[in-house]
């Protein structure tokens, strides 16, 4: 594993930034796999994030299907430089941190795409963005996938309650708890295969742009390893704010619902990933949790929380694009500009972290939503 000697400083900076993004992607998305398992008590919080972290690393090694699609689809690779990729990543990281602070499960993939598109437009003009590909590969699946996952989870939840209505309740609860451990693990594994690959795609794209790799080559081993470890570590640290939102604020999730949500998420992610569609795990998982919440009783879902999420989802791509565009504009001034962007980004990240410490959400208080405004104002219907 020797780095080629002609790798310039900017390429190294981009690789590091990409791994930082991968890390934020991990802790932003722990909730996708584990929120409902933690909420129902199927897994203790610390155990849940450990399992999710390990399976994300494992998942990163299992497939390289998506990595090729992303690095050769959305933007014209011949017309963007490592500086553009760096600026795009900065946009994605800042938006990920901001939405984490607010506890909103926005899509890390959309933040990444948004950042890249914004930076590309500034550096190479509108013509370097393949808007057709953006629409068909990113925006359309983003609209379809949460609705699809929601419908599957709703159907599955309804049938699960109908089927087990007269069965022994102790057996049912224990059974679905055991099932949740399996289904949550599958989501974490699928997340590793789909999201770690996005970072691999970006790093590979950079290396191709810098001429280190030949066009159309796959990610080298060290890229797969570091991307897997970064996302696994991020996942292990756990984005407790988002876990609380998805596990407790959306609805009062019971074990059959948690199992149905996770099974639906896994089914959608795996089938789409197999066909090379880059779906947002976050949007699929969120859609499934809303579907599972509605499957027991429509009124059991807090739609005010849903509205916040939809706003965040719509804003994600343009907001990350705006940050990416500004970063690209500053970074185009050369080394000084790149250093300036990096310093400002680090300062912003530190500031967001400092604000988060005022009301920290941790493994110990993640299920405690007594002081939450949305929960207080829109109480979910009590269990049957």
Residues near other proteins (CB under 8 A) are 59, 62-63, 131-133, 135-136, 140-141, 144, 148-149, 151-153, 155-157, 159-160, 163-164, 166-168, 170-172, 175-176, 179, 182-183, 186, 189-190, 193, 256, 259-260, 263-264, 266-268, 270-275, 277
Residue 182 Cβ vs other proteins, minimum distance, rounded to whole Å: 7
Closer residue to other proteins (CB): 158 or 329: 158
Residue 378 Cβ vs other proteins, minimum distance, rounded to whole Å: 27
Residue 27 Cβ vs other proteins, minimum distance, rounded to whole Å: 22
Closer residue to other proteins (CB): 91 or 256: 256
Closer residue to other proteins (CB): 59 or 228: 59
Residue 158 Cβ vs other proteins, minimum distance, rounded to whole Å: 10
Residue 269 Cβ vs other proteins, minimum distance, rounded to whole Å: 8
Residue 274 Cβ vs other proteins, minimum distance, rounded to whole Å: 5
Closer residue to other proteins (CB): 51 or 260: 260
Closer residue to other proteins (CB): 170 or 382: 170
Residue 156 Cβ vs other proteins, minimum distance, rounded to whole Å: 4
Closer residue to other proteins (CB): 169 or 335: 169
Please write down the HEC assignment for all residues of the chain.
CCCCCCCCHHHHHHHHHHHHHHHHHHHHHHHHHHHHHHHHCCCCHHHHHHHHHHHHHHHHHHCCHHHHHHHCCCECHHHCCHHHHHHHHHHHHHHHHHHHHCCCCCCHHHHHHHHHHHHHHHHHCHHHECHHHHHHHHHHHHHHHHHHHHHHHHHHHHHHHHHCCCCCHHHHHHHHHHHHHHHHHHHHHHHHHHHHHHHHHHHHHHHHHCCCCCCCCCCCHHHHHHHHHHHHHHHHHCCHHHHHHHHHHCECCCHHHHHHHHHHHHHHHHHHHHCCCCCCHHHHHHHHHHHHHHHHCHHHECHHHHHHHHHHHHHHHHHHHHHHHHHHHHHCCCHHHHHHHHHHHHHHHHHHHHHHCCCCCCCCCCCCCCCCHHHHHCCCCCCC
Closer residue to other proteins (CB): 170 or 334: 170
């Amino acid at each position: 594993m020797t780095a080629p000697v002609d790798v310039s400083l900017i390429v190294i900076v981009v690789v590091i930034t990409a791994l930082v993004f991968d890390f934020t992607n991990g802790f932003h998305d722990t909730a996708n796999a584990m929120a409902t398992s933690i909420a129902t008590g199927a897994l203790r919080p610390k155990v849940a994030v450990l399992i999710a972290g390990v399976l994300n690393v494992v998942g990163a090694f299992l497939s390289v299907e998506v990595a090729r699609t992303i690095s050769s689809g959305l933007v014209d690779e011949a017309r963007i430089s490592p500086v553009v990729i760096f600026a795009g990543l900065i946009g994605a990281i800042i938006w990920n941190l901001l939405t984490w602070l607010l506890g909103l499960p926005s899509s890390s993939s959309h933040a990444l795409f948004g950042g890249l598109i914004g930076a590309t437009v500034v550096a190479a003009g509108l013509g370097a963005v393949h808007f057709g590909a953006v629409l068909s590969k990113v925006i359309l699946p983003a609209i379809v996938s949460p609705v699809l996952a929601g419908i599957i989870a709703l159907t599955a939840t309804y049938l699960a309650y109908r089927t087990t209505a007269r069965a022994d309740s102790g057996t049912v609860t224990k059974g679905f708890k055991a099932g949740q451990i399996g289904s949550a693990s599958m989501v974490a594994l699928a997340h590793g295969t789909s999201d770690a690959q996005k970072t691999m795609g970006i790093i590979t794209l950079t290396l191709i742009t810098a001429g280190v790799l030949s066009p159309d080559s796959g990610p080298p081993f060290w890229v797969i390893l570091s991307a897997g470890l970064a996302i696994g570590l991020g996942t292990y640290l756990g984005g407790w704010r988002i876990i609380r939102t998805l596990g407790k604020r959306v609805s009062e999730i019971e074990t059959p619902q948690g199992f149905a949500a996770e099974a639906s998420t896994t089914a959608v992610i795996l089938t789409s990933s197999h066909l090379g569609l880059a779906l947002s795990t976050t949007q699929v998982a969120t859609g499934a949790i809303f579907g599972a919440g509605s499957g027991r009783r429509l009124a059991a879902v807090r739609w005010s929380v849903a509205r916040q999420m939809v706003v965040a989802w719509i804003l994600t791509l343009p907001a990350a694009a705006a940050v990416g565009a500004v970063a690209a504009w500053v970074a185009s001034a050369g080394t000084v500009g790149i250093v300036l962007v990096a310093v400002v980004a680090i300062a912003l990240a530190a500031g967001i972290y400092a604000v988060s410490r005022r009301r920290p959400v941790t493994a110990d208080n993640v299920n405690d939503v007594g002081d939450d405004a949305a929960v207080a104002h829109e109480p979910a219907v009590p269990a049957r």
